[in-house]
Amino acid sequence: MGNEEIAIKTEGLRKVFGRFRKRIVAVKELNMEIERSTIHGFIGPNGAGKTTTIKMLVGAIRPTKGKAFIFDEPVGSVKAKRYIGYSPEHPNFYPMSAIDFLIYMGRISGMKREEARKRAKELMEWIGLEGFENKNAQRFSAGMKQKLSIVQALIHDPDILILDEPTANLDPIGRFEVIGKIGELARKERKTVFISSHILYELEKIVDHVTIIKRGNVLLQSSIASLRKRFSENHFIIDTSSNKQFIKRLEGIGNVKKVWINHEGKIEVNVSNGERFKKELIDLVKNSNIIMNEFSPYKMSLENIFIKLVESE
């Protein structure tokens, strides 16, 4: 893959706070590559180093060691910053109207005043803040501040969006709407989105790649499709006309490691070899009077995959 297809790259990225006995290693030896035009989830438990990594990527703090690049430009450089739109976990604003703040941010990014005003109005309407253009942004509710922060990240139409907990202060409806809008915008305009969030069941609705970190190290980097295949290829859901009778037949197959009735009354089965099991299942159904209603791979959620990976380390 050519460098033009890598939006974000880190090589041995490390950040240490303090000295001597008070030294805290927030990020150890972080190596990752984020492909262009992907929506990439960046997840990990509390204290894993997510926010510290993000602050290094946007140039807010310097790495202790290692390198990081935004489209081949060193992080922190003016050229690298031009590519980025950033929304922090806890946004705050100057005591000025929302529209004036957005125009100010647009002007800093090199936009003309009227161009910035036009885009600000369009984005505020897009995210559901129409009618609040002339209100003091500092007095906005936490949820409104979160939305305004996402708008300021988009004001100069960046190639890369870096979002740290973008739905943290929103109610469930607001979270659903904002996550959907981010996904829709990213795919429509082919933006790269690097998004950190603890709300994994919402995140998995839009991400196509994920990096999981723990204690400042990468545990896994993968596409969602490959991740699901890895954790589901030997795990199946079966529903028949008589599950209690059929489960006894499945218990007699040597390839079956574990089989049980789940909370929906369907059969779940773990096997050693998924491809062989499919052939064995066909023979089993042929030689019985049981009707097969469902046979499908088990779809493990991102949250369950995350817990399984983190707890195994």
* Contact between 80 and 70 (Cβ < 8 Å): yes
240 backbone dihedrals φ, ψ, rounded to 5°: -130, 180
* Contact between 111 and 82 (Cβ < 8 Å): no
Domains observed in the chain: 6-221 (3.40.50.300), 234-312 (3.30.70)
Taking residues 11-29, what's their average pLDDT?
A: 91
pLDDT for the residue numbered 246: 94
Mean pLDDT of the chain: 92
Residue with tokens 């490959």: 226
pLDDT for the residue numbered 313: 64
Q: Is the pLDDT of residue 1 over 60?
A: no
Closest of 162, 152, 302, 166 to residue 225, by C-alpha: 302
pLDDT for the residue numbered 300: 84
pLDDT-above-70 percentage for the chain: 98
- pLDDT tens digit string along 70-123? 999 999 999 999 999 999 999 999 999 999 999 999 999 999 999 999 999 999
With residue 195 as reference, give the H or E element that holds it.
Answer: strand 192-196
Amino acid at 229: K
Residue with tokens 């499709």: 225
Instruction: Round to whole Å and give the CA distance between 161 and 42.
Output: 13
Helix/strand/coil percentages in the chain, nearest 5:
40, 30, 30
Whole-structure pTM value:
0.86
Q: How many CB atoms lie within 10 A of CB 190?
A: 10
